Every structure is written in structure tokens, then in C-alpha cells.
């Protein structure tokens, strides 16, 4: 089935092309000695890497289409691009907002993970998250944090199909949706579908750590990813093979700072607005779909090792989960 990318439209259907950082920067290398082609570009505030073993011209064409798809997705799903579906929904103050079918699909999937997360994942946490600055070590004002939390509730997000297409609405006019915690998984799945439809049989998609692998390497070996050592960003505590699957890692070490001996990390509890209390330093989730791997990785990390292992065993979409504690020990669910 041909893969199509929706043009960016805004209410009247007129094209709106918000500028994307480093939109025209990209590089292609290869083939290397093993026959692998590599394509890199910047999207979704991260580096996207596509690698494949196939005819170089076929790879280049597929890579170009994948990059174009990412531009379309970013213009639809970004919280900060003013004409995106998400930005317009947040600015609508509760008024039903026309959105694209792909945005509707992602929002519907995201709400399912919110409902299934035991309160650990909420796509309306954006206002609270923005009060923290983990790069500069800035903590939020308590009054401002409490005000932001009063507008956090995924149950107030509604998506429905109309005669003219799709629309979304927020019950709380001051609520704000941010799909950054799940969009990369959904997009990685779309890119894998695109590359497969273009005849690529051995490839890997990496959206800043959201990894999807398809097929095997020419020598028959599987694609592999490393498990981060939380004590040393340049070291690994293990590696796992992935084939026809996705692996996504969440870690408290990704964005954090220390204050008075306490670690503050970016995985926030929707109830308190503060970092989730967890004994897991990181967790890598293996699933057939990347959206499942990403959607559940944050939940498992926030639940902690014991409860997270139990949660993983009860969810068939999770093929495996690898928890890493602060000492670098790996616990497999």
C-alpha cells in the first residue's frame, strides 16, 4: 500500500509551513564496507538516524521520503510551532479544534496509555513540566506548580470524528497537551512502515534513542542496542538483541540535577509535579510497536523495579523490560 504524508493545513486548508530548526541540514554516508547506508538529520529536538542495507539509490530515495514525513509530523504535532494541530488545540481555550487524522490517531493512542499507566503518565503535564529547568537546575515555585497541576487531567481531552474530518477539544480552557512523551514512538512506527513499503528489508530507525529494527544484518546477526550505565554516560552494563521490534529507554540520568544531596530528574509524578520516587535508574522496554515501547517505558520507570516488573508481565504488548538500578545491576522482567 502506498505511503502518503498529509500536507500541513490550517482550518481553511491553506498550507502553513512553520520553520523547523535545522530543517535543511542532513547528511548521507555510505555504503560502508559492509554495505550499510546511513542518513542523519535533526527533528523533534533530537538527531534522527536511519541505517539500511540495500541498494544505495533505493536507500537514498527512501531516506528522503522519511525525512519529508518527519517534517510533516513535526508541523502537525509540535507543541511550539504555532500552526500545528497541538498548538492550535492548546490555544483554542476549550473550543473544538479541527485536526488531522494522524494527530487524532496519536491523541487517541496517547489517551489509552494515560488510562493504563496507574496515574504515572499524563499528556496534559506540559504546563508543570515547563516550570522545571533541568539543564540549569531550576526548581519551580510551589504556588505556580500547584496552579499548573490544577489543569492536569488527561480525562479532559476529547477526540472525535465529524462529517468534515476530526476534531479535538479540552474541557479545561487552560489545559495544554504535549505529546512529546509518546510521539517519537508513534513516528518511529510510521517511518518503519514507510521504509518497508519502499522495499528495504534490513534497517534500523533511531529517533534519539527510540529504536526500531527490521530484518537482520547481511551476516545474519541481529541488530543490538546497549543498556546505559547510569553511573557513566559513556559506559554500558549490557546489550540486547532486537529483531522486528522496538526498544525505548527512559532514564532518570537523561535530564537531572542534584540539590542538597537529592537527585531531581525529568520523570515527573502527575500528582505532585515533582520527580517520581523510584528505585529504577533506567528501563528499556522491548515491544513490537515503538509506541508501546515508549508509552510504557515512562510508566515502568515511575513505578519502580518491583511494581514495574509486575506491570510488564501483565501487559502482552511488552515483550521484555530491562530495569537498571543505581548500581548498574540489570533486572529483567
Four-CA torsion 179, 182, 184, 190, nearest 10 degrees: -100
pLDDT at 241 over 80: yes
Considering the entire predicted model, what is its pTM? 0.91
pLDDT tens string 112-129 = 999 999 999 999 998 899
Q: What is the distance between the alpha carbons of residues 213 and 240, in angstroms, rounded to a whole number? A: 12
Answer for the pair 135, 108: CB distance below 8 angstroms, yes or no. no
Does residue 13 carry a pLDDT above 70? no
Same domain? 166 vs 280: no
How many whole angstroms separate alpha carbon 152 and alpha carbon 149?
A: 5
Is 296 a member of any domain?
yes
Structural domain includes residue 1: no
Question: Is 3 part of a structural domain of the chain?
Answer: no
Q: Let me know whether 200 and 154 are in one domain.
A: no
Task: Give the three-class secondary structure for 43.
Answer: strand
Q: State the average pLDDT over residues 29-47.
A: 95
pLDDT tens, position by position, 152-204: 999 999 999 999 999 999 999 999 999 998 999 999 999 999 999 999 999 99
Considering the domain architecture, whether residues 156 and 301 belong to the same structural domain is answered as no
Q: Please report which confidence band the pLDDT of residue 281 belongs to, taking 50, 70 and 90 as the band edges.
A: very high
The CATH number given to whatever domain includes residue 279 is 3.10.520.10
Helix (H) or strand (E) holding 286: strand 282-287
Predicted local distance difference test score (pLDDT) of residue 16: 65
**Domain range for residue 62?**
35-79+180-221
Same domain, yes or no: 64 and 190: yes
Residue 178 has which C-alpha cell? 504535549
Task: Please tell me the distance from the alpha carbon of residue 147 to that of residue 212, in angstroms, as a whole number.
Answer: 38
216 and 226 belong to one structural domain = no
Claim to verify: residue 226 and residue 312 sit in the same structural domain: yes
Query: What is the tens place of the pLDDT at every residue in 296-323?
Result: 999 999 999 999 999 999 999 999 999 9
Domain boundary among 156, 189, 221: 221
Amino acid at each position: 500500500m502506498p505511503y502518503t504524508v498529509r500536507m500541513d493545513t490550517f482550518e481553511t486548508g491553506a498550507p502553513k509551513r512553520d520553520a523547523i530548526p535545522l530543517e535543511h541540514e542532513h547528511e548521507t554516508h555510505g555504503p560502508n564496507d559492509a554495505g550499510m547506508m546511513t542518513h542523519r538529520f535533526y527533528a523533534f529536538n533530537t538527531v534522527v538516524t536511519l541505517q539500511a542495507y540495500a541498494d544505495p539509490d533505493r536507500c537514498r530515495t527512501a531516506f528522503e521520503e522519511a525525512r519529508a514525513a518527519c517534517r510533516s509530523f513535526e508541523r502537525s504535532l509540535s507543541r511550539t510551532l504555532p500552526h500545528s494541530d497541538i498548538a492550535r488545540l492548546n490555544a483554542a481555550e476549550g473550543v473544538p479544534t479541527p485536526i488531522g487524522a494522524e494527530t487524532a490517531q496519536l491523541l487517541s493512542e496517547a489517551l489509552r496509555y494515560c488510562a493504563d499507566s496507574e496515574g504515572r503518565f499524563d499528556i496534559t503535564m506540559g504546563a508543570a513540566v515547563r516550570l522545571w529547568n533541568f539543564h540549569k537546575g531550576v526548581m519551580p515555585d510551589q504556588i505556580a506548580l500547584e496552579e499548573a497541576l490544577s489543569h492536569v487531567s488527561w480525562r479532559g481531552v476529547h477526540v472525535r470524528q465529524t462529517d468534515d474530518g476530526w476534531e479535538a477539544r479540552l474541557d479545561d480552557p487552560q489545559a495544554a497537551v504535549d505529546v512529546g512523551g509518546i510521539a517519537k514512538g508513534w513516528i518511529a512506527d510510521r517511518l518503519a512502515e514507510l521504509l518497508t513499503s519502499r522495499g528495504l528489508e534490513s534497517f534500523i530507525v533511531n529517533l534519539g534513542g527510540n529504536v526500531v529494527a527490521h530484518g537482520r544484518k547481511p551476516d545474519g546477526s541481529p541488530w543490538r542496542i546497549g543498556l546505559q550505565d547510569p553511573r557513566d554516560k559513556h559506559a554500558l552494563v549490557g546489550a540486547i538483541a532486537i529483531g522486528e521490534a522496538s526498544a525505548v529507554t527512559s532514564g532518570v540520568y537523561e535530564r537531572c540535577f542534584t540539590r542538597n544531596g537529592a537527585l531531581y530528574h525529568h520523570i515527573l509524578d502527575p500528582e505532585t509535579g515533582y520527580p517520581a520516587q523510584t528505585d529504577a535508574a533506567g528501563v528499556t522496554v522491548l515491544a513490537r510497536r515503538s509506541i508501546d515501547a515508549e508509552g510504557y517505558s515512562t510508566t515502568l520507570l515511575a513505578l519502580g523495579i518491583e511494581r514495574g516488573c509486575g506491570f510488564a508481565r501483565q501487559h502482552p504488548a511488552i515483550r521484555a523490560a530491562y530495569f537498571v538500578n543505581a548500581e548498574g545491576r540489570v533486572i529483567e522482567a
